[in-house]
Amino acid sequence: MQLHPDPGITMTRFLLLFILLVTCLPASARKKDKDKSKHMPPGRWVEVKRLNPDSMVWNFTDTLFMTFQIRDTFTYRVRNGFIYKGKYTYDEDDHLEFGWVSYIVAQKRPNSLILANTKGIYYYVKDTSDTAAVIVLDSAEKIEPVTDLEQMLGKWTVYKRELDKDAIGVSYSDEIKYMYITGQGTDDKKGYVYCGPDPVNSPSCYIQRFEGDQMLECFCKKPRSLKVVKCQKGELVIVENGVSYYFKQFK
pTM for this model (two decimals): 0.48
Same topology, domains 3-126 and 149-248? Answer is yes
- Comparing 213 with 23, the larger pLDDT belongs to 213
Q: Within 10 A of 81 (CB to CB), how many other CB atoms are there?
A: 18
CA distance 200 to 198: 6
- Please determine, looking at this structure, whether the domain spanning 149-248 carries the CATH number 2.40.128: yes
Domain boundaries, the chain: 3-126, 149-248
Q: Do 121 and 50 contact (CB within 8 A), yes or no?
A: yes
> Which CATH number among 3.30.70.260, 3.30.230.10, 2.40.128.280, 1.10.20.10 corresponds to the domain 3-126?
2.40.128.280
If one compares 18 and 84, the residue with the highest pLDDT of the two is: 84
User: How many Cα atoms are found within 13 Å in the side-chain-facing hemisphere of 90?
Assistant: 16
In angstroms, the Cα distances linking 204 to 62, 118, 219, 236 are: 24, 31, 9, 20
d(CA 69, CA 76): 11
CA of residue 236 relative to chain centroid, distance: 18
pLDDT digits (tens, 9 = 90+) for 175-218: 899 999 998 776 788 999 999 888 888 999 999 999 888 999 99
